[in-house]
Structure 1
């Protein structure tokens, strides 16, 4: 009986230690991760670790009942490890919630810049963006809306976006439906170019991703143009 008790306790301790190591990996990764898809995966993994921790607690409680009137250093260590694990899980969950709330706030703020007919198309695009990409888009839109960008610069950026899209289509790259719908609006001749550019801006992160993969080489350095614009707008 005592041997079986010690074996169960040892297994419990080993499992908690392994999950603690995993938890540390997630903590380190999430500290620098702003890709929403990876954040969702980490959130799922953290949820599984929470379920494991609940199972460990149940196992610990069952073993604790078997200790009557004697001090067991090993079970005290398990109790301490469980407490540490739950504390770290709580901290990670709180951090994830804060990240989600901030991204949601940025997302809603972006949508208010567009009219009701455009918001559904823009929403489908911006839901796929991470925090830094949405900040970049917001900054560029701020610069455009406060007339910090010349007409020539706006036309150059819009031209760069359109040329990149054309190059993608020539390469046989199928754009997702949400991006295709946005491209149709951008190419509407009835709209003035400033409005078309505002609608096109959320496509830039995806174009830059494609640019890295396909080496589009359209002759317009879209990334450099945007960085220069953002630095000037921020007064750097």
Structure 2
């Protein structure tokens, strides 16, 4: 291959690495501030695509390294350093995300421990869509329910709000995670223990909160504010 073509290939490689490295840093910043699990998944898939690109760049670099000598070695060294930085950043993101997912998976397993074996599949489909903060909040509320720290009136208000919110979401054809029919059946089953019905309903609170401003619940209860006040009270009890 002519030296000019080799130099052009090297320049194109360098430009592509720079663009992808800048994109990688943007994804890193986005992941740091993102709470939505679905959007996090989207960013992580994009990062995996950049890892595949980095592998291709390494192959291209190795081919060029065998053919380019002389004055171009300075530029080769620059490209090698950029590749090293990109791979290092990819590895850091991988380790960081693995630790985060390991922690949230541990929290989700703790939350599922509140449920019977037959209900864990239903609940896990919901909890897999919750972020770490939401899982922590729901787990604390479940602990409080089981420890009888929630009054009957509070439990009734929370369950009524969730039932009404679900009913409105169904009317608007809003799809919730997992088998919505199974969830609604348990929550509305009058023969089932009231506290148990509430425990099944509680993980749905974050999804209902996403729509609460639009739902205009007839109960007159601001579910977000009620939850906020209740969690504040729990912290006082815990302290």
Moved more, 68-77 or 115-124: 68-77
Question: Does 2:40 match 1:39?
Answer: yes
The alpha-carbon deviation at position 206 of structure 1 amounts to 1.4
Give SS of 1:72's match: helix
Partner of 2:130: 129
Alpha-carbon separation, structure 1, partners of 2:140 and 2:180:
21
* Contact kept? 2:6, 2:68, Cα under 8 Å: no
Q: 1:189 to 1:215 in 2, by over 3 A?
A: closer
Query: After superposition, where does 1:1-236 map in structure 2 within 5 Å?
Result: 1-68=2-69, 72-169=73-170, 171-176=171-176, 178-212=179-213, 214-218=214-218, 219-235=220-236
The alpha-carbon deviation at position 128 of structure 1 amounts to 2.1
Alpha-carbon separation, structure 2, partners of 1:175 and 1:38:
18
The alpha-carbon deviation at position 72 of structure 1 amounts to 2.5
Give SS of 1:50's match: helix
Q: 1:8 to 1:175 in 2, by over 3 A?
A: closer
String of CA shifts for 1:80-118, please: whole Å, max 9, x gaps: 100000000000111121122122112211111011222
Alpha-carbon separation, structure 2, partners of 1:178 and 1:210:
19
TM-score by length of 1: 0.92
Alpha-carbon separation, structure 1, partners of 2:104 and 2:174:
27
Alpha-carbon separation, structure 1, partners of 2:56 and 2:68:
19
Task: Give the aligned length.
Answer: 234
* Contact kept? 1:125, 1:178, Cα under 8 Å: no
* Contact kept? 2:165, 2:215, Cα under 8 Å: no
TM-score by length of 2: 0.91
Alpha-carbon separation, structure 1, partners of 2:71 and 2:16:
24
RMSD across aligned positions (CA): 1.8
Q: Structure 2 regions of 5+ residues with no counterpart? A: none
* Contact kept? 1:160, 1:222, Cα under 8 Å: yes
String of CA shifts for 1:114-139, please: whole Å, max 9, x gaps: 11222121122222222222112111
* Contact kept? 1:186, 1:199, Cα under 8 Å: yes
* Contact kept? 1:137, 1:202, Cα under 8 Å: yes
Q: Extract structure 1 runs of 4+ deviating beyond 6 A.
A: none
